[in-house]
Chains A and B, each alone.
Chain A
């Protein structure tokens, strides 16, 4: 082996050992970043479980403030999800399948609550449906009051949660191949029958996961609710509001409510995963 060959060879091996070292360092760096991020998410959630004994958790589950908030939250979030599905499904189907003037505007408006801060939604709803609001003043003439009632809780939830369902539903309808709808038409199905028997069943997985996401968002709603519906136990004090309120006195109750919401959140993620995997 002459000298130049030897030099070249050592150069090559030095070069490759340097890239190997570099790659290892990069892997390490990514692993550290990933671990830090995961810890940042999991440590606070784990802390909830570590800061309360199982006995104290069960004891606070019997407290009226916790029970009231839990039942009110489940009832209002279910109602608002039902309302969102009833109004959102036809809207999503029409916007997925028909081109009309102003469709982009409708799409933008339905998406708006996602980017709108909840406090803005709260004051906006109050200005519309409050006793002296744009709509509320006329409702007041008939003795109908919405603000600071359970109805207001549901309206606030519908307002903030609807885009989660409508977006998902529209994407699911768009993913249904039109050929099935055309085939159904040639077999004698009216447009309504096509939607009921072909398009909706084929988009089913997406619709369910959209409804679950919308339910979860409604359950977590805080800002718009406290401004538009107030914070009255048993009437408008949902779980997030009760967490905020009890935190100042009964920390155990606050943590227990938070743990229930964490468990529901996990169940939601799991449910969405299962439903979307079974999708056609």
Chain B
């Protein structure tokens, strides 16, 4: 269970978003470029701080303006995948996946076991010792997902998870992603520009316009709002 109310002054408008997600539910955010979708993810993971509001994950308040709570990013236990995946280019695949466990000072033997297992699950074992800067888009995506999921996060944030994946591989990757999210059984927020992502990954769909929630509900219901200009062009593709 995750709930968010965040207000933050951006350059062109004030972002003011209220959202909540149930356990194991996947919420997909759609909207124009610059509508504030990625900003919402950054506010949740703590890279940005809201001006006002409250963010609650499970029993824990991550941010509360009234109670003066602001848990630092590194203690939020949220998996955040960036659009570019941000794999550390000076590390191998295995080192990337081990990074978060090392930060948590998990014993070395345990780290090795977790990393090996996670790489096997994600079919990345062959790439363990390859430098992260030499991977294809699809491989990067899987490594970034492995790096986040090995930490057993309580919430998963995915910013355009398939944008850097080769067109032909996208369908298979999307299916795989769906399985990974289902197995993790945690709330998940996905930002996307692709109709297929919205249709196949979303339990619920949320349209953001100029920092406000313009629609939030069942995917078919939201995509049926053809009087909305963005929805009309989104479903037209």
Contact = CB atoms under 8 A, between A and B. Distances in A.
B103 A183 contact: no
B86 A182 contact: yes
Interface string B27-53: 000000000000000100111000000
Contacts of B234: none
* Residue among B75, B100, B103 with the highest chain A CB neighbour number at 10 A: B103
Interface residues of A, number: 18
Interface in A196-213: 197-198, 201-202
Nearest to B90: A201
A33 interface: no
Interface stretch (B14-22, B76-84, B111-119): B76-84
Contacts of B147: 187
Contacts of A190: 74, 103
A202 B45 contact: no
Contact of A280 (B78, B86, B89, B104): B89
Given A182-B47, A183-B80, A189 B86 contact: no
B73 interface: yes
Interface residues of B, number: 27
Interface in A150-186: 177, 179-180, 182-186
A201 B88 CA distance: 10
B128 interface: no
A183 B90 CA distance: 14
B151 interface: yes
B148 interface: yes
Contacts of A186: 45-47, 73-74, 76, 78-80, 148
* Residue among A179, A186, A197, A280 with the highest chain B CB neighbour number at 10 A: A186
Nearest to B79: A186
B99 interface: yes
Contacts of B89: 180, 202, 280
B86 A188 contact: no
Contact of A184 (B76, B79, B88): B88
A193 interface: yes
Contacts of A280: 89-90, 133
Given A182-B47, A202-B90, A187 B103 contact: yes
Given A193-B103, A202-B90, A185 B82 contact: no
B73 A185 contact: yes
Contact of B86 (A180, A193, A197, A201): A180
A184 to B, nearest CB: 7
Given A179-B82, A190-B74, A184 B90 contact: no
Contacts of B151: 187-188
A183 B86 contact: yes
Contacts of A179: 82, 84, 86
Contacts of B45: 186
Contacts of A202: 89-90
Nearest to B42: A182
Nearest to A198: B88
A190 B104 CA distance: 10
A193 B99 CA distance: 10
B90 A188 contact: no
Contacts of B77: 188
A189 B47 contact: no
A193 B45 CA distance: 18
* Residue among B47, B79, B84 with the highest chain A CB neighbour number at 10 A: B47
A183 B74 contact: no
Minimum-distance CB pairs A-B, first 10: A187-B100, A183-B86, A188-B103, A185-B73, A186-B80, A179-B86, A189-B103, A188-B74, A188-B100, A182-B47
Interface of B: 42, 45-47, 72-80, 82, 84, 86, 88-90, 99-100, 103-104, 133, 147-148, 151
24 contacts: A180-B89, A182-B82, A182-B86, A183-B86, A184-B88, A184-B103, A185-B46, A185-B47, A185-B73, A185-B74, A186-B46, A186-B73, A186-B76, A186-B78, A186-B79, A187-B74, A187-B99, A188-B103, A188-B151, A189-B103, A190-B74, A190-B103, A193-B103, A202-B90
